[in-house]
Amino acid sequence: MAVFSENQSRQLYVANSVVTGSTEVTNQSAAGATKIKETADGKEFFFAHKGASDDGLQRSDLVNKCNIMDIRATAAADMLHTMKKVEVELDSNVSATPIVGQDYILNVTIKNYIALGYDSQKVKFGAAKAFNNVASDLYKSLAISLAKNFAKEPVKLLKITLKGDANNTEITNRTKVADLTAITATGIVLEEVEQPWRLGVAKVEYVNFEAQPTTIYANNMDQVWGVVTDVTAANTNKLPNSKIVADMEYFYHKNRGDIYGNQGWPVNIDTAYMVNPSDANGYSMLDIHFFYESNSHNVGHSEKTITLVGDKTVLDSFVNELESTILSGYNVTIKKSANW
């Protein structure tokens, strides 16, 4: 399961809508209705929130305006994960075309395969002998060989395609060279695949891989036959943070009494969660980090965090209200991410 950090306590609320003016958040409000309010003396503020259930009327902890340590607003667009993608081609400095008779091997190392340690690795490879000096034929044979080796894995790790293929045809263990006659390949493309996820059980994982061409005998010496170009930055295939935020909601609900989660399933207590893990846009976040300090012997700083997640437009209303009204006159700067 996903495990997140917290400093003594962190409460997460899903804000689906903003309640303003004289309207109050009640049990009749829609789930996720949220309103920021001040105490009578104006020294503290809190959030009134309607949870998922009929009795889900909630109030956040009191935030003393003088005890705010940090406020950050992070847009969902700044938390997208771009799928890793690389291209493998022949190194023209060695030989721009395949050298007939040479064995071309492409190793792919999956790092952190089972555990987070550097020693937890899985190596798969594709191998093809050059029967002619046509680069396209070599790329096709190598890609098919690599796909057959990866097909033995219990979970799909990479998507294998050919550079130069306008249709972006995926190479699988069932693909044959005869199926690719219409394609003139100029390289092999490897891209990570989204991994299986289950709320509170299997956390979001990314495929950390490296492609490594081996050596051939060329120019009277052993030389690495290929070059690997990382094209991740240009990849338009991105994953939103929705599943991660769903795990965060599941984890931080333990600070609100849901300490068992799915433990003992199917004999467990079901909790109504509000994050949609399938949301294609992801969730923006507003983090308010502060501390509680009492009198006499209880003067130690008890640090806490309130996190609101939701659509950027909704959270921006709270940011504007904090800046213009709630924290006006206080030396508090809300740090905003690049796309806020």
pLDDT value at residue 48: 97
Q: Please name which of 335, 329, 314 lies closest in space to residue 47, comparing C-alpha atoms.
A: 314
Q: What is the mean pLDDT of the chain?
A: 93
Cα dist from 192 to 14, 23, 121, 144, whole Å: 30, 48, 16, 17
Q: Does 5 or 235 have the greater pLDDT score?
A: 235
Residue 135: φ, ψ to 5°: -60, -40
pLDDT value at residue 238: 97
What mean pLDDT comes out for the span 19-27? 93
Q: Does 8 or 73 have the greater pLDDT score?
A: 73
Dist CA 285 CA 296 (whole Å): 36
pLDDT value at residue 4: 83
Least confident of 8-12, 177-181, 214-218, 327-331: 8-12
pLDDT value at residue 260: 77
Pull the structure tokens for residue 330: 């206080």
pLDDT value at residue 5: 76
Which 8-state DSSP code applies to residue 145?
H
Q: Where are the domains of the chain?
A: 9-78+241-336, 82-238
pLDDT of 55 > 70? The answer is: no
Which 8-state DSSP code applies to residue 201?
T
pLDDT value at residue 43: 95
What mean pLDDT comes out for the span 224-235? 97
What mean pLDDT comes out for the span 185-198? 97
Least confident of 48-52, 151-155, 208-212, 258-262: 258-262
pLDDT value at residue 92: 96
What mean pLDDT comes out for the span 166-195? 96
Tens digit of each residue's pLDDT (9 = 90 or more) over 91-118 = 999 999 999 999 999 999 999 998 878 8
Q: Does 292 or 259 have the greater pLDDT score?
A: 292
pLDDT value at residue 232: 97
Longest dimension (CA), the chain: 85
What mean pLDDT comes out for the span 7-12? 87
Least confident of 58-62, 130-134, 259-263: 259-263
* Contact predicate 309/13, CB 8 Å: yes
Compute, in degrees rounded to 10, the torsion defined by CA atoms 270, 286, 340, 203: -40
pLDDT of 299 > 70? The answer is: no
pLDDT value at residue 138: 97
pLDDT value at residue 244: 97
Q: pTM of this prediction? A: 0.91
Task: Determine which helix (DSSP H) or strand (DSSP E) holds 189, and give its type and residue range.
Answer: strand 187-192
Map residue 211 onto helix, strand or coil: strand
Q: Please name which of 169, 142, 143, 173 lies closest in space to residue 156, comparing C-alpha atoms.
A: 173
pLDDT value at residue 1: 65
